Structure 1
Amino acid sequence: MIEIERKFTVKDDSFKAEAFAKNHIAQGYLNSNPARTVRVRIKGNKGFLTIKGASNDTGLSRFEWEKEIPVAEAQMLLLLCEKGVIDKTRFEIKKGHHVFEVDEFYGDNEGLIVAEIELNSETETFEKPDWLGTELTGDIRYYNAYLSNNPFKNW
């Protein structure tokens, strides 16, 4: 499956009042190489194993494969991950025909808030909420795999 995603800064925390879902996420990387990341995630009470390929030239699209796994297995796999487990809360906000996922980071990435939107094509238009800031699509510093090794606190 090809994931098409755009990423943005967030101006303020007004998005929280619009959220229809909120989940704590812990995620680590068995491999953080940008050509093929292998991620373990616990989101709420579910576990996931995800493999992502390198982004295309625009930074908008890349291969993504994800499978749900038992949360106990995800917890065990997190112990095998590279240093820098990501700790964040994800807020889901519906705007028009799309859902924005806004991640508020903690720990070594405290203070960082990033919004993402998945699209059906690279040219698809979408409604931009007032709290949406500067576009970050393609900036590897905001990829979670990068943040696990180069946390926001060190920028």
Structure 2
Amino acid sequence: MPSSLATYIALPGNTAEAMEYWHSVFGGDLVILRYGDMQLEGMPFEPDPEAVAHATLTLPVGVIAGSDVMDTREYPIRDTAYSLLYTTETDAEAKRLYDALIAGGGTVGMPLEVAPWGDLYGQVFDRFGVMWSFSCEHSG
């Protein structure tokens, strides 16, 4: 297998919901492995069998992977530390994805508009607190 790089996001118990939602917005191939689907002998902790051990959403443009965090501390998700940049081929595609995340409970971080550098650019915090930036070489 060739080397690759994927985004990995650990969410506080709602990874399956987030991955299924992103799959509905972006398409691709989704695989979710829960701890209950695995052989757990020798695990150093007792995981919830419904918790996500590993999930991957494979898109034509890249891979998003993730899991549920295992400790009970509060994790602030809504932050730019959890952010993804999605570059599209057309303005229409950027707008469609941007609008879909807002319609699904997201909030505008930055309006989708022509930026000073000339590209169409905008940011949405989805309902899970993950920031999605959309960029497209503006077509006029």
Q: Would you say same fold, with TM above 0.5?
A: no
> How high is the TM-score relative to the length of structure 1?
0.28
| Structure with the higher strand share, 1 or 2 | 1
Higher relative contact order (CA 8 A, sep 6+): 1
